Structure formats: structure tokens, C-alpha cells
Amino acid sequence: MNPDVLLNRIRLEQRGLTDIHKKLYEMEHLLPVPDPMQFAKTAESAALLSEKSTAHLRNMFFSVSNEPPIYYYPKAAEV
């Protein structure tokens, strides 16, 4: 894969991880007595951002690796 394309994808994922970090920071500052609805909403947002990031990183790995997904998924499940 083209190094410029890879660099762009890496930078996009860095921004995604920054967004996850911000949500976790927001959750931390809702403590010690968070509004349950607000805390759950923020936690869901963080989890969905994490899912998106995981999917993007996995797809990037598949695009640069010769390892078939069938070998990756058992490792992912173990983790």
C-alpha cells in the first residue's frame, strides 16, 4: 500500500483515538456522583467510537498483511 495513503489512515486513527480519550475524560469528570443517563450516554459514545476505531485498524491490518482473516479472528477473540 502507498505510504502516503497509510500515513493518512494512521493520522485518521490517531484522531479517532483522541476522540475516545476525550469521551473517557468526560466520563471521569462526571464522577463521583454521575447522572446515570448522562454517564451511560457518554459511555455508549466512547464504546461506539472504539468499535469504529477497531474496525478501521483491523481493515488496515488486512490491507497490509498476507495473513487471512481466518487466522486473525481467533486471536482477536482470545484477546
Distance CA 3, CA 51 (A): 25
Report how far residue 41's alpha carbon sits from residue 26's, in angstroms, rounded to the nearest whole number. Answer: 11
pLDDT of amino acid 34:
82
CA–CA separation, 79 vs 74, rounded Å? 9
What pLDDT does 70 receive? 93
Instruction: Write out pLDDT tens, residues 50-67.
Output: 999 999 999 999 999 998
pTM attached to this predicted model: 0.84
Tell me the pLDDT of the chain averaged across its residues.
Answer: 94
Cell 469521551, residue located: 23
Distance of CA 7 to the CA centre of its chain: 17
Please write the tens of the pLDDT for every residue from 26-37. Answer: 999 998 888 999
